[in-house]
A = this chain, B = another copy of it.
Amino acid sequence: MTEPTGRRERKKAQTRQSLADAALELFLERGYDQVGVKDVADFADVSVTTLFKHFSGKEALVFDQDDDLEAALVAAVRERPPGQSIPQALREHLLLKQTQFAVHAADPRFAAFTRLVQETPALRDYAHRMWTRHEAALARAIAEAVGAPEDDVSCAALARFALEARGLIQRHAEPRRAADEAFALLEHGWAASHPGN
């Protein structure tokens, strides 16, 4: 049996989905700040209390699936092809994500969604915090990959810079060029202190 999920979990997942759907629809229609948490709950036919049992806050309604981003990031470093440096691997990983992004960009609904996020300060900041939350894990993965101590500063710096590079890539028209220029700064210095990685 693929999923031994009882009716209970199914209904739970369903209300969660209803809430996420309601939030997205209303936010896209009226704008994030013009929609109250009560509106979302009503639209999903659920109480406000229930809404907060499922989502930690109003912003979280929009970012339904954020898991295994961290795992993918760590894997990009750990399982990079031989001969590829860590900065290169991270650049490729970001670009891959970016193009997966661009595929969906045809969907006007998806485009409207990213516009919503970028133009709403609360959502922009929240997304950034969620993303940079992976810094410690990435830094650890990098340190492990080069055999450096866990709290090595240059590994932490590379992790932070690489994560911050994402924002630069996202907002410029030609992602490939932006990524190349941003990571060019990192690759040389990294190669100098960690030859062969």
Contacts and interface: CB of A to CB of B under 8 A. Distances in A.
Interface of A: 125, 129, 153-154, 156-158, 160-161, 164-165, 167-168, 172, 177-178, 181-182, 184-193
Nearest to A156: B168
B192 A184 contact: yes
A157 B181 contact: yes
Interchain residue pairs A-B with the least CB separation, the first 6: A185-B189, A188-B188, A188-B189, A157-B182, A153-B181, A154-B181
A154 B185 contact: yes
Given A125-B129, A153-B172, A186-B189, 8 more contacts: A125-B125, A153-B168, A153-B177, A153-B181, A154-B182, A154-B185, A157-B181, A157-B182
A193 B186 contact: no
Contacts of A172: 153
A168 B189 CA distance: 17
B153 A157 contact: no
Contacts of A177: 153
25 contacts: A125-B125, A153-B172, A153-B178, A153-B181, A153-B182, A154-B181, A154-B182, A154-B184, A157-B165, A157-B181, A157-B185, A158-B185, A160-B164, A160-B168, A161-B185, A181-B193, A184-B189, A184-B193, A185-B189, A185-B190, A186-B186, A188-B188, A188-B189, A188-B192, A189-B189
